[in-house]
Chain A
């Protein structure tokens, strides 16, 4: 799983806008599809999961991902970073960054664990919310990719 990086440069979008949560999730699905990580059908699974339970994790970050039933739409483990500088109302929580996740098997556990460990550092979380340069995002989230090379 060491080949293509889990977070690829063109999966980082730092200046998106969305009027609401579902629109933000559709953008997330498009980005994951653009980098070849998922089929377009994955977006519907992300929306379904979000309606079942919020993927807001704190620190202005949400981690949209599909249901177990949608694993066949996942082609490879990947995350994206989609930043909404103006924020998105996420069931009452202000979301500034979405980290949509595509993973097969239980690969998402390692991805989520590494991401959560980074976000537990308030400085790192703020740096992610304020990121203007994809290089900064890649540097910040580098441990996420490393965790999956097990």
Chain B
């Protein structure tokens, strides 16, 4: 199991738009990925509802985990995505 723990970087937390971008990236990954917070158990990273239910705000530590041959690259990419500012990628907002 490969794991990375990072702090949520988006100002609004891991809510609608950042969550949707994260979920889309996780769903496109070749391995099953989970995400959890310190006080909530791991949930499938490809489930929008499950990710939203985590209620992760900016600065909340989340742990992303996956198994398998490509897990390391997938987990690194997704961790970087969560740690970055997903709001900043909005083109016209």
Q: Which A residues lie at the B interface, using CB under 8 A? A: 48-49, 52-59, 63, 65, 67-69, 106, 108-110, 112-117, 119-120
Which residue of B48, B52, B87 contacts A68 across the interface (Cβ within 8 Å)?
B87
Q: Let me know if A68 and B92 touch, CB within 8 A.
A: no
Q: What are some 30 contacts across the A-B interface (CB < 8 A)?
A: A48-B92, A49-B16, A52-B92, A53-B16, A56-B48, A58-B47, A58-B48, A58-B49, A68-B90, A108-B12, A108-B15, A108-B16, A109-B12, A109-B55, A109-B56, A109-B57, A112-B15, A112-B16, A112-B52, A113-B54, A115-B52, A116-B48, A116-B49, A116-B51, A116-B52, A116-B53, A117-B53, A119-B49, A120-B50, A120-B53
Q: Which B residues lie at the A interface, using CB under 8 A? A: 11-17, 20-21, 47-58, 87, 90-93
Residues of B within 8 Å of A65, CB to CB, are 16
* Shortest distance between the CB of B29 and any CB in chain A (Å): 18
Residues of A within 8 Å of B90, CB to CB, are 52, 67-68
19 further interface pairs, Cβ-Cβ under 8 Å (given A52-B92, A55-B20, A106-B57): A48-B92, A56-B48, A57-B48, A58-B49, A63-B16, A68-B11, A106-B12, A106-B13, A106-B15, A108-B15, A109-B13, A109-B14, A109-B57, A110-B55, A112-B16, A113-B52, A113-B54, A116-B53, A120-B49
* Shortest distance between the CB of B84 and any CB in chain A (Å): 16
A63-B16, A106-B12, A106-B58 as given contacts; A52 in contact with B93, CB under 8 Å: yes
Residues of A within 8 Å of B15, CB to CB, are 106, 108-109, 112
Cα separation A58 to B50 with both chains bound (whole Å):
10
SS class, residues of chain B in contact with chain A: loop
* Shortest distance between the CB of A123 and any CB in chain B (Å): 14
Give the residue name and chain of the B residue nearest to A105 (CB).
Answer: B12
Cα separation A1 to B12 with both chains bound (whole Å):
18
Give the residue name and chain of the A residue nearest to B21 (CB).
Answer: A53
Residues of A within 8 Å of B21, CB to CB, are 53
